[in-house]
A and B are shown apart, each in its own frame.
Chain A
Amino acid sequence: MNENRPPRVSPIFPQGLACRGVVGARVRAGRMDRKVLLELKNIRKAFGEVVALDDVDFSIEKGGIHGLLGENGAGKTTLMNILYGYYHMDRGEISFEGSKVKIHSPQEAIRLGIGMVHQLSTLVPEFTAAENIILGTEGRRISFSTGGERPGILKLCEEVGLSFPLDVKVRELPAGIKQKIEIIRALHRGAKLIILDEPTTYLVESEFEQLLKSIKRLIDQGITVILITHKIREVLKSCDTVTVMRKGKVEGRIDRPEMDREKLVKMMFIEKEIKITESALPRVQLPDCRRSELPVLRVQNLAVEAGENGVGVHNLSFDLYGGEILGIASVSGNGVKELVEAMIHPSRLKEGDIRVKGESIRGLSTLEVFARGVFFTPEERIQQGILTEGSIKENVLLGHQGEKRFLRHDLFVNWEEAGKAARKTITEYGIYTPSEDFLIKRLSGGNIQKVIIGRAFVSQICLLITHNPTVGLDISSVEFIFRKLVEIRNQGDAVLWINEDLDELMMLSDRIAVIHRGELRGIFPRNQFDKYQIGLAMIGA
């Protein structure tokens, strides 16, 4: 073997070109076979008029971690869902272990040895881990006890190095543990190929390291892993190959020796004018800004009862000043939802106080809080944020239906004024729509989020509370939102930014507060941002 000849990179079918531990310390020898495990050819899938996958080719060899990289909406999850039998492709061919197969349902995929861990948990919340793992397995259809299959499960856990309680109802377990259960669930059915869809969505840095360790143990057992992600950093850290998708098409495949950040960024995005970071985020600057003397928001000894599956808030106190963005880093289920609830519905406040510009908002109604200059954008865009079958106009009015400006004689809605406000929002935010009477559900995710944010600025505000505003959005929409947040801050108003993505928070926050199990674990000033430390605080370590 001539070691001076650089290996060729073929974009689509690298059969015969699989690296064999030749170049560089990054590649582990013998991890990947030459044998092709999976081939997807000419896959096409459309949902109505929207083409999600346009003639996609994807192939991987047995063994190793194969990345499937692309920004939100690129089609990665759709492609894997077709492989898993959850969706049906319109056209195309699948070959698994050398023979052509037709996969019409998850049952068939499972029988072939394909397992999938979805981005959002697909465990039954009411059942225990054991019950979830044995759900749907063949054999012993009638009488059962988890007892029969238990030893097998425990052995698996040991082999892979994952552990979790078997007999606790899943809804009481945190996201990181649920993921482990789903991995074991796939293995328990004899999966040879495991697809992980955005597994780090609910994990912090330290948990990601742990996950990688577990994945490597899986590889050692001979299992092949496909990792779906939009984070370049993850691919660079862990993948043997990466296939990059963009807007329903495959841009190419790169193997480990050739992987570098610039190449991947170029393949992922067409938008040349946006600078992209390693976490596939638009790079936006945070200029110096003097913060106000007095706090816009003061939370004092706040205590809130736990909601469903949450922990509530205990003795929480912090200040937020005008001219600053305060990032709240917290794993879902640790009290942040209750914090936002308390600020929006202070009538449910039990203990402690919340003051806006010095005045307490205890006991006020939501509309009264809005009247004090506070507004918010909800965590779940569609489920919590929009009137789904309503027009854009109706959606922009939401939250302002009590304001004098939009009412006539306190009883009738002033639709002219509402229309004006809607048109202003459409223009200012560049929302792509023919009119304000257009149904909001026809807008893209990014445009919907623009309406939700625009709604906040229909009337003057001094504090914006925003929760995961960029989830699932394309890169230009993310950039738009980032710039908007900075704009609000630079004007001297305050932003309370709750986000699970630490990369985003670290880019644009003046300070980051960590909340774990309803308590404040610390506030990091900008010059002390450390991803690992903050991540540890988020899981209470």
Chain B
Amino acid sequence: MDAITTFVSQTVLYATVYTLVALGILIGGRAGIFNIFGEGILLTSASSGLIVASLTQNWFLGFLTGALAGGATGLAYIYVHETYKINQFLLGVIFFILGAGLSDLIYKLVVGVTLTPPIAPPTPVVGGRILSELPILSGFLHQSLVVYFMYAAILIAWWFYYGTKVGLETRAIGEDPKAADVVGVNVTLRRYLATVIGSILIGIAGAYLAIVVIKTYSSGMAGGRGFMAIGITIFASWKPQKALVGGLLFAAVEVLSFTLQIVAKNFPYQIPLMLPFLAVLLIMMIFKKRIEFPASVGKPYSRE
């Protein structure tokens, strides 16, 4: 494979993480919930997913665990928020810390006991020799099944929000919850669903990160990607198709920074490592005028 195809392949590999998290955030956001603790979910599901996958040598169980970890965290979060009406950002910071703490603890407890580092089982890769020969396209297509899951998720989300009435109603909640409430839309139920589904996606992304991309676990391995995904979601104006674009963009920056480190040996390696984070800020500055938010995202809603 030539360099460009390799580049594309690596980009898509990493983009899956970014895009799934961004999609998870935007699903919650469309119902008015601003999820800033994606990083915490990534860490928890990475650690738990990898361990289960390693112990059972079954990739699917690993992903299932990650999904469950995400879903449980999301459920706990939305329950506390809806019941006690606590500020979403405040709660999000706490849940991020919880997730980070939990992930390290789980790893230490399990691996500390067995003392064997986990071995990630492989996931099925789509396409055989034919796909892998295609230039550039193979970068997009010759990938793990999970990447195809990501593609499918984006398409389904896109269709859901803009092609179905249920999606219209859900978007209404994010814009003006009272308007949706008075016409009989069950705001609370949909917020629960949106948060949990979004968190499940992020959980899958975390398991993917540990099992497919990095193949090991280390403390803080999400490296801030969960937070960068917030930037992607904002840049994408909370739209699924743009989230894919954003994910690819930032993954490309990340892959570029790896390349730079290898190529420019005498250049301090810390600077390329800073690039992705600065890129987030830069992109948000450049696209400031074109960014839209669901009007009520982050705000609590109650009738009285």
Contact = CB atoms under 8 A, between A and B. Distances in A.
Q: Do A and B come from one complex?
A: yes
Interface of A: 47, 84, 86-87, 105-107, 110, 116, 118, 122-127, 131-132, 134-137, 140-144, 185, 189
Given A106-B181, A124-B172, 19 more contacts: A47-B304, A86-B182, A106-B182, A107-B186, A116-B182, A122-B178, A124-B179, A125-B176, A127-B168, A134-B165, A135-B169, A135-B183, A135-B185, A136-B169, A137-B183, A141-B164, A143-B163, A144-B164, A189-B183
Interface in B176-192: 176, 178-186
B166 interface: yes
26 contacts: A105-B184, A106-B182, A107-B184, A107-B185, A107-B186, A110-B184, A116-B182, A122-B179, A123-B176, A123-B179, A124-B175, A124-B179, A125-B175, A125-B295, A126-B175, A131-B168, A135-B168, A135-B169, A135-B179, A135-B183, A136-B169, A137-B183, A142-B164, A143-B163, A144-B163, A185-B183
A124 B180 contact: yes
A193 to B, nearest CB: 15
B289 interface: no
Contacts of B183: 106, 110, 135-137, 185, 189
B265 interface: no
Of all A-B residue pairs in the complex, the 10 with the closest CB atoms, nearest first, are A107-B184, A136-B183, A144-B165, A124-B179, A136-B184, A122-B179, A124-B176, A124-B175, A122-B182, A126-B175
Interface in B282-304: 295, 303-304
A134 B166 CA distance: 11
Contact of B182 (A118, A125, A142): A118
Nearest to A139: B165
B160 to A, nearest CB: 9
A189 B175 CA distance: 22
A135 to B, nearest CB: 5
A50 to B, nearest CB: 11
Given A87-B304, A135-B172, A141 B166 contact: yes
Given A107-B184, A124-B172, A135-B185, A140 B165 contact: yes
A84 B304 CA distance: 14
B183 to A, nearest CB: 4
B188 to A, nearest CB: 10
A126 B295 contact: yes
Contacts of B172: 124, 127, 135
B17 to A, nearest CB: 30
A144 B168 contact: yes
Given A123-B179, A124-B175, A106 B163 contact: no
A427 B185 CA distance: 49
Interface in B123-177: 163-166, 168-169, 172, 175-176
A138 to B, nearest CB: 9
Nearest to B172: A124
A47 B181 CA distance: 20
Interface string B180-209: 111111100000000000000000000000
A86 to B, nearest CB: 6
Contacts of B182: 84, 86, 106, 116, 118, 122
A132 B175 CA distance: 12
Contacts of B186: 105, 107
Nearest to B296: A124
Contacts of A143: 163-165
Residue among B163, B179, B186, B304 having the largest count of chain A Cβ atoms under 10 Å? B179
Contacts of A122: 176, 178-179, 182
B75 to A, nearest CB: 23
A135 B179 CA distance: 9
Contacts of A185: 183
A87 B295 CA distance: 24
Given A47-B304, A126-B295, A143-B163, A86 B179 contact: no
A86 B165 contact: no
B69 to A, nearest CB: 31
A136 B164 contact: no
